[in-house]
Amino acid sequence: MNLSLAAYSLLAWAAQPLLKRKLRRRAKAEPGYAEAVPERFGCYTPRDLGREAAGQWVWVHAVSLGETRAAALLIHELRAAMPGMRLLLTHGTATGRAEGRKLLQPGDIQVWQPWDSRKAVRRFLQQFQPAIGVLMETEIWPNLVQGCQRMGVPLVLANARLNAKSQAGAQRWSSLFEPTYGALRAVWAQTEEDAERLRSVGAPVQAVLGNLKFDVQPDAALLEQGKAWRAVSQRPVVVLASSREGEEAQWMAQWAGRKFHGVAGQCQWLIVPRHPQRFDEVHAQLLEAGLRVARRSQWGDGLPPTDVDVWLGDSLGEMPLYYAAADIGLLGGSFEPLGGQNLIEAAACGCPMVIGPHTFNFAQVSQTACEVGAAFRVLDMEQGVQLATALVRDASSLAAARQAALEFAASHRGTARATAQAIQQLLPYR
């Protein structure tokens, strides 16, 4: 073990009480964080959990909600190729774990990702002895990667991406991260730019396979429900999708500054916060601003009220509904320096997006979407509101943007099958 890994391991061990305290605090807002806490430290109930299939598990780690939805596409292709596959699914967040339950079949197991201490990782690997491990997107943990290498578990990074900021951090701590990336068996990048950055930190990039999220097929029932919402509204619908802290305030500043005039003030606004723990907070902010608000959670299966300023999307798993309900959207995470959110699902639903200046987490997909007319770049929220509300007045331009979004999503599909085939080639059994 090099000195950097030793120091890191000591810090990971020392931070365990802080992790437990953080989990207790998070559980007050999201009870899922109180579930099966010992699993995070490699302690399982019953003690023989998963051992009957030791050496057979296909382990997929999807840290949060977005990664879990991408993993669902890959898991579907893996099951099609290997009907008897035993799935071991791990997560780091409560929303990821809740979404992951939907993917389980009889014989599968779902547990928390082990905390990245040497002891927790060793317990996890000894408990399940996976045949292969598949980390989704960015989930590189030094002790987890090194532990897999020591125990002979091939570990791969699928749908891999690395932004410039993370690349700089990995290069700054190269004595820790170069051996970590180098210990992976294979890396399959989303874009050529991701591949170049990953290679620069020592990752064994084998191919650029694209982004799994292009393979998403939006739920048809949710799409139809969203279209019904749009039809019942007497005003154009504009969604602020997956908004992050500070962005709702930016949007409300436009309202308070009397900049919502003409068609802007005549739009039906739909705000969908990214994180469920913020639903109540955003609702209170909107009310304090003097806006008339209706919460999605309160109208159930019926149609939304049309006599309010804002529909608040306070539900999980319904983004296709929200995108289908909207004529156009503003992309959350891109109006604060947070790196943006992925606009692929919006495109698959035919919803063009207006994006702010901060999309470093999804730089290539955002750039390509703008190039083909499926998205539009602006400098700030004020320009975003102005452009979105101008486009809803221009029927032909809006129709062209909606068609461009659908074609953009359709033209990049096939990553899930290619990734599943690559994983199969590394399995000791097929």
Sequence-distant (≥ 6) Cβ neighbours of residue 66 within 8 angstroms? 213, 342
Structural tokens at position 187: 């890396």
Backbone angles phi, psi at 191, to 5 degrees: -135, 165
Helix (H/G/I), strand (E/B), else coil: 65: helix
Distance CA 201, CA 181 (A): 7
Structural tokens at position 105: 């079949």
Sequence-distant (≥ 6) Cβ neighbours of residue 315 within 8 angstroms? 296, 297
Separation in Å, CA 48 to CA 63, 96, 109, 124, 340:
24, 25, 12, 12, 42
Confirm if 33 and 26 have CB atoms less than 8 A apart: yes
Structural tokens at position 188: 């399959």
Confirm if 406 and 350 have CB atoms less than 8 A apart: yes
Identify the residue whose tokens are 């907070």: 281
Between 65-81 and 94-101, two packed helices, what is the crossing angle to 10 degrees? 30
Of 168, 173, 136, 172, nearest to 155 by C-alpha is 136
Residues tagged active-site:
67
According to DSSP, the β-strands at 375-377 and 237-243 are unpaired
Structural tokens at position 306: 């049309």
